[in-house]
Structure 1
Amino acid sequence: MNERKQPGLANQTLLNKIDKLRELNVGSIELPQLVVVGDQSSGKSSVLESLTGFSFPQAPGLCTRYATQISCRRDSERSVSVSIIPCPGTDAAVADRQRSFTRTLTDLTNEHLVKIIGDANCAMGIKMTPDHADPNLTAFSQHILKIEMNGPEQEHFTVIDVPGIFRVPSPPLTTESDVALVRNMVESYMQNSRTIILAVLPSNVDISTQEILQMAERADPDGLRTMGVLTKPDLVTEKATRDVVKDLIAGKRNKLRLGYSIVKNRSADDQNSGVSERLAQETTFFSKSVWKETANTGRCGIGSLKTRLSDLLLTITKREFPNVKSDIVRRLEQCRGELVGIGPSRTELSSQRVYLGQLGSKFQKITQSALNGYYYGEKVFEQDTTLRLITNITKMNEAFANEVWKKGHKRHMSALADDGGETSYELAKHDTTLETIEERKCKYLELQDIVEEEDYRCSEAKPCDEDPIASHIEQIYQDNRGPELGTFNGSILAIAFKEQSEKWEPLVLAHVSRSITAVHHYISSILAHICPDRRVLDQLWDTLLTDKLQTAYKRAMDQARFVLSIERDGMPSTYNHYFNSEVQTKRLDRLTKEMEKISVTCYTDSYSKESKIQAVPFNSIKSLVEDKDNMQQIREDILDVLASYYKVARKRFVDTICRQVIGHFLLDGKESPLRVFSTELVNGLDDEVLEAIAGEDEETRQRRKRLEAEVKSLEEAVKLLRG
């Protein structure tokens, strides 16, 4: 016997927990439930009365202005309790006042219920009659009236009744906005994926045209959780209509997986019969020959309907209970996170300074991780890879170095063909999530006058045969030569180098612009991440950060232009020993190529392959010099020096841009934009600026209250679920 009872007790405990969760105002969590929906005058109240044994009062304006949760519980003592469950988001004071509304009786007559529900309407601010002139009263409410009935004859059963939808208002009691409000209320219950929709429909109407079914289909397109309940079969007089009803009950002509059931309402003039009498009348009605075949389907009568609904409620509750627990824990973590983001109450200047100081400290902590490449432990780096700052900047620097090497020279120099073993960086696959300069300029208008107008796309230098550099160098020499004999002055090299490096300026300015937009995107995103309060974030940008960041970005762009000026506008200069080595190497390479042209094959020992060598006749060496005119010699010397100096200057220049302009002025320097927002900056703010940025407005205070209330409810829900 005990083994058979245990599952029933466990099921009752499970259903009780779901009802308690609803009382705890965890409205953001979808709960398993049965919801009865239908048009006004569809027989919905009669169905509920038969299901619960609860007699709805007949006074007008009662029990139809809000959702009503009716719970039946088996208990040795008979009792009825009525209370109000405030809707989520209700002001704390109003919610406390509504929760204080409770009525408990041992027995409930219609007269008692009329009085209790009238009191509940007043507590919810419901306009009960057209002559109520108080503008604060409403015709409908989002709160829930809970009626719990206990008794030895009761079985565990909970159902929610929502107001019947209507299309025509009845001023001044209801208005057009009330029509929409009720429809939205009904739809919100139906949209809950854990709701069994009990759609009540009169049998004597065309089912296919019923709007309540269309609403149910929108909420439950596959018909997996909608059950149709047909009422008023005694009003069906035509055989064709009766056949349609029978087909629906038999599972034909419908898309509802849960099918249809049919019940007989008590007649409109029957106000005195009890529940048992009405059940007997229903049994008699369906035993008639015209309905007898349908009665055998097990879908006729309130008894079979109640059994099916009890099983459905228990099934969906068991299935969804683990998901409900997960949703509650997840929502609790989310609310706690939002509360942390809002921070403590900030009515005092000291609390405002602490709040901003904590934001500054958190920003610097995350930024230090971003600069060191320590992304583990910070979820923001997993959620958005464009915020992995040092990784992205390093990739950009490598791409910049490659582009300057491969495309940065205006003309190809044959002397550059030997790269001395130099190789380009192996670039990672392009991150398509990174925005272009143009995209980020549109996103961040504060960069408009700082970064370049557009990304610079560097083109390849023309092939040597299309634009021979030797002829060009000769022209430069002829146009700028002085009285030197057998040599050239320094201005010729300066002119040739400046022209050869003219692509450096757009390449550098585009690279620094891209780096600035990447840094700015990082700062903006991290601040939004650590400061979810939009008003504080906007004030932080507008009042404190924008001007300072713009100054830091301009400083970086100015430094880039300064480095460009030093490299390209002054006289070429270097103290790098590599320069002289490069010049000598290129001269040797040139001489070697010429000697290869006049070399002959010699054998040092009996014409063996092992003794075969290439040798240059001594007399032929003189021709390498004597046959070369002065212009050719100078042209070759200029080209060797230019190629050697360009290579040395390019490497120096790329390192300077990446280390000074990007590394120091944008990332690591004391005046870097990444160091602008810090605790030191916050500590130096005067009281007026501090209040303007971190002062708390009424909306934030209310949001904190709502979150605190929700956290409290969710914490109680977690305790309930673990109990």
Structure 2
Amino acid sequence: MELHGLGDPLMLERIDRLFACGAGEHVDLPQIVVVGDQSSGKSSVLEGLVEMAFPRDSGLCTRFATQIVFKRSKEERIAVSIIGDRNSTQEQRAEMEAWSKEGLQSLDGDAFPNVHQVMGLDPSDAASGSKQTFSSHVLRLEIAGPQQEHLSVIDVPGIVRIPTPGLTTKSDVALVKGMVLGYMENPPSVMLTVIPANVDIATQEIIDFAAELDPAGDRTLGVLTKPDLVDPGTEPRVVDLIEGRTRPMKLGWHVVRNPGQQQISDPSINRHELELNFFRNKSPWNDIAEDQVGIKSLRSRLKDVLSALVRWEFPRVKQEIEKKLKAAQMSLGDMGPERSSPHLQGIYLTDLASRFQRLVSLSLDAKYGADRAFDKDPSLRMAPAIAARFTSFSDDIGQYGQEFAFSSPDDPGLILEPTLAGDPQEQAPAIQIIEPKIDVRKLHDAPLEIDDLLHPSEQLSSSSSEHIETWLRQVYDTSRGFELGTFGGHILATTMKRQSSKWTSISLGYISDVVVLLHRFISAAFSAVCHDADVMSALVNAMTEKLTQRYRTTLDQVRFILEVERGGMPLTMNHYFSEHLDECRQKRMLEAMSNVSFSDCKHGTVVRLQDVVQTHPMSNADHIVKDIHDILQAYYGVTLERFKDNVLKQATDYFLLSGPDTPLNLFSPTFVSALTPDEVEHIAGEALKVKRQKAQLGKEITSLSEAKAILIRG
């Protein structure tokens, strides 16, 4: 840091006004901090800078920090005020503002009436325990006059080494130490460390603090007091320190000679003449450079230091104020609007519901670029997740849904997929590699509040290796009646129910996963639109019962579809059933005839009529079993496609996504309008903690907004 003289008074004026508006509570401002032990002579140094005597035994500058601001003006005047700390209530700030005094002519006891009471301190110096002994509020002294030049310093209470019975306690010692270190730790501050010259500097705790916080000595200016009390013969040690031969610091050392107790009480003694005579005539002090001795040169030096400090830090201060103001405004905005009355609470909840429904609409339409919330939480991307889960459901039920693998007409042992309805083209037999087992649930971390109503995780094996026609023969033999050359309709119903027995686990596992995806979306959407944890928790509690009921209704709908498709008589009007059944019979006939066919150049491949009769003699029961197989395969394929469509259209779409009573449209403006006033208050009423946070942010925004205006307008 380079020193270039006084610098821009307007810039210094702005920094002082930033302190006055409380910006120093939120942004590190450049300042000179006066620190030292209680017996270091710090108060006398301040009196010399102020050129006024502080009232003795007033507690001024000993129990709270004091900011002293010098300004040039046409008339001499003194103003005193209190800058409340960040924890001050509105009532306390109003009381402090009312206490402010202007137009004072001196700093006698009448200038500070009731200052201790206003700061919440014990009015006496004794530690009674009923009130605090020290305060974190700041007393501001503004001294103006035609001979003043711009300067400001902050004096903090002196370091208390040990408790004094009846005056200070252990907690007071710790409190003062924390207060002093808090000011010293401020990076853009210069520490004016006041130390008696007649003591060993190695024993001074304040020097240890400064060395720890500023090891390079870039922002520490040492001030030695009481040179008149230095023991004879030890003066060279002090001179070496002042002239930088021991413990050098970039800002250097300065020495002042304060009046003694008797001299203070003698009005005929002039402080400056006393000090001037001492440094002119007393050896070895008269050999020290003039700009390093005396209170006047110290004051000039402090102006240079502060000017350079402000010039260096001013751009950063502007950036920090802008940054902190935006952060505070964003934090207050995230906490939602004011909701101190039932009307405001209703408006707040209605706005939350509207923004929630907007996210629902954007998510279902897959318009993920329309809101940045979709980039922050993948759970909000609901449509692709549900579509992917339905695809896996379709694959799983197609591959694992049948209890027995259907056989091929040309190879009774070949495993085939059932022909899918809607595909009239002939399908070539194909052997598929199928995993031995699948899990009907793909999502295993369901929220606890809905876990009980979901279908449990379950593994299913692939289709039975037992030949399907063996099973069908057993069913026929144990279920046949007196039919001749045919079979009863109940056999098809029985076999269909057994063949589709895995549908239950696969479909309920699927819909349970969709419910989990939906519930995750709802939770993520709540978090995206509501940043108040208490409100969100109350909303969830208010909606959980109705949400779970809608989830339960959806699962019941899947069970209903299962009952319709797997129970009762097999029925269909789908023409693909007849077409597929014809295909199966034609394939069997074609395969049977292929072994006795021959090529005739004129007529192509032909079969003799007698061979048609004698080709593949089977018993009546065998014919019936093969008919049962073909009819079951045709009906299974048609029903499977119908079942998947119904699960998708009814359970997934209507009951969960787009119907009138889905979980997604539960939290809506209509839901809010139906709440009772007590319910609205319970959900949206501000907790005491939130009120305090909002009040604190409001004060911070007010202070920083005023600071920003000071920087812009000057």
TM-score of the superposition, structure 1-length normalised? Answer: 0.74
Call closer, same or farther: CA 1:713–1:26 in 2, change over 3 Å.
same
**Number of matched residues?**
662
Deviation at 1:63, TM superposition (A): 1.4
Call closer, same or farther: CA 1:686–1:28 in 2, change over 3 Å.
same
Structure 2 letter corresponding to 1:65: R
Give the one of 675, 678, 695 matched to 2:668.
678
Give the one of 108, 116, 123 matched to 1:121.
116
**Structure 1 match to 2:260:** 269
Matched residues in 2 for 1:436 and 1:154: separation?
A: 76
1:568 and 2:566 matched: yes
Contact 1:61 1:128 in 2 (8 A): no
Contact 1:196 1:226 in 2 (8 A): no
3-state SS, counterpart of residue 501 of structure 2: coil
Aligned Cα RMSD in Å?
A: 4.9
**Structure 1 match to 2:447:** 440
1:322 and 2:314 matched: no
Give the one of 646, 649, 666 matched to 2:639.
649
Call closer, same or farther: CA 1:660–1:267 in 2, change over 3 Å.
same
Matched residues in 1 for 2:659 and 2:354: separation?
A: 18
1:636-715 pair list within 5 angstroms: 636-694=626-684, 705-715=695-705
Can you list the C-alpha shifts for 1:261-295, whole angstroms capped at 9, x where unaligned? Answer: 43335468376574697589689999879999xx9
Deviation at 1:84, TM superposition (A): 1.0
Matched residues in 1 for 2:143 and 2:576: separation?
A: 96
**Structure 2 match to 1:81:** 79
Matched residues in 1 for 2:156 and 2:614: separation?
A: 106
1:188-587 pair list within 5 angstroms: 189=183, 195-196=188-189, 198=191, 200=193, 227-232=219-224, 237=234, 249-250=247-248, 261-264=252-255, 266=257, 269=260, 274=271, 307-338=304-335, 341-346=336-341, 350-413=343-406, 414-416=415-417, 436-438=443-445, 440-441=447-448, 445=449, 447-453=450-456, 456=457, 458=459, 461=462, 468-484=467-483, 487-532=486-531, 536-542=535-541, 544-587=542-585
Give the one of 138, 143, 150 matched to 2:132.
138
Contact 1:73 1:154 in 2 (8 A): yes
**Structure 1 match to 2:710:** 720
Matched residues in 1 for 2:620 and 2:202: separation?
A: 107
Deviation at 1:301, TM superposition (A): 7.4
Call closer, same or farther: CA 1:388–1:102 in 2, change over 3 Å.
same
Contact 1:416 1:643 in 2 (8 A): no
Matched residues in 1 for 2:192 and 2:621: separation?
A: 101
When structure 1 is superposed on structure 2, of 276-285 and 68-77 the one drifting more is 276-285
Matched residues in 2 for 1:157 and 1:82: separation?
A: 16
Structure 2 gap segments, 5+ residues each: 265-269, 407-414, 428-441
Structure 1 letter corresponding to 2:82: I
1:150 and 2:147 matched: no
3-state SS, counterpart of residue 219 of structure 2: strand
Contact 1:79 1:105 in 2 (8 A): yes
Contact 1:34 1:160 in 2 (8 A): yes
Give the one of 98, 101, 112 matched to 2:99.
101
Give the one of 32, 37, 43 matched to 2:29.
32
Contact 2:592 2:616 in 1 (8 A): no
**Structure 2 match to 1:256:** none
Matched residues in 2 for 1:247 and 1:596: separation?
A: 116
Call closer, same or farther: CA 1:115–1:289 in 2, change over 3 Å.
closer
Matched residues in 1 for 2:283 and 2:565: separation?
A: 101
Contact 2:62 2:157 in 1 (8 A): yes
Deviation at 1:405, TM superposition (A): 3.3
1:49 and 2:43 matched: no
Call closer, same or farther: CA 1:527–1:619 in 2, change over 3 Å.
same
Matched residues in 2 for 1:153 and 1:696: separation?
A: 54
**Structure 2 match to 1:426:** none
Call closer, same or farther: CA 1:619–1:312 in 2, change over 3 Å.
farther
Contact 2:69 2:141 in 1 (8 A): yes
Matched residues in 2 for 1:201 and 1:91: separation?
A: 34
Give the one of 63, 66, 74 matched to 1:65.
63
3-state SS, counterpart of residue 148 of structure 1: strand
Matched residues in 2 for 1:558 and 1:249: separation?
A: 84
Matched residues in 1 for 2:67 and 2:561: separation?
A: 76
**Structure 2 match to 1:4:** none
Call closer, same or farther: CA 1:180–1:404 in 2, change over 3 Å.
farther
Matched residues in 2 for 1:8 and 1:130: separation?
A: 39
Call closer, same or farther: CA 1:322–1:691 in 2, change over 3 Å.
closer
Contact 2:321 2:707 in 1 (8 A): no
3-state SS, counterpart of residue 445 of structure 2: helix
3-state SS, counterpart of residue 626 of structure 1: coil
Can you list the C-alpha shifts for 1:537-587, whole angstroms capped at 9, x where unaligned? Answer: 554444x42332232222122222222222333444332223333344455
When structure 1 is superposed on structure 2, of 664-673 and 477-486 the one drifting more is 477-486
Matched residues in 1 for 2:44 and 2:637: separation?
A: 91
Call closer, same or farther: CA 1:593–1:711 in 2, change over 3 Å.
farther
3-state SS, counterpart of residue 59 of structure 2: coil
Deviation at 1:97, TM superposition (A): 1.6
Call closer, same or farther: CA 1:93–1:50 in 2, change over 3 Å.
closer
3-state SS, counterpart of residue 80 of structure 2: strand
Structure 1 gap segments, 5+ residues each: 1-6, 252-258, 423-434, 606-612
Deviation at 1:480, TM superposition (A): 4.0
Call closer, same or farther: CA 1:418–1:82 in 2, change over 3 Å.
same
3-state SS, counterpart of residue 438 of structure 1: coil
Q: Decide which structure has greater helix share.
A: 1
Contact 2:79 2:142 in 1 (8 A): yes
Can you list the C-alpha shifts for 1:282-332, whole angstroms capped at 9, x where unaligned? Answer: 89999879999xx9xxxx978666634532332122234234223323423
Deviation at 1:95, TM superposition (A): 0.8
Deviation at 1:98, TM superposition (A): 0.6
**Structure 1 match to 2:267:** none
Contact 1:248 1:260 in 2 (8 A): no
Matched residues in 1 for 2:172 and 2:481: separation?
A: 96
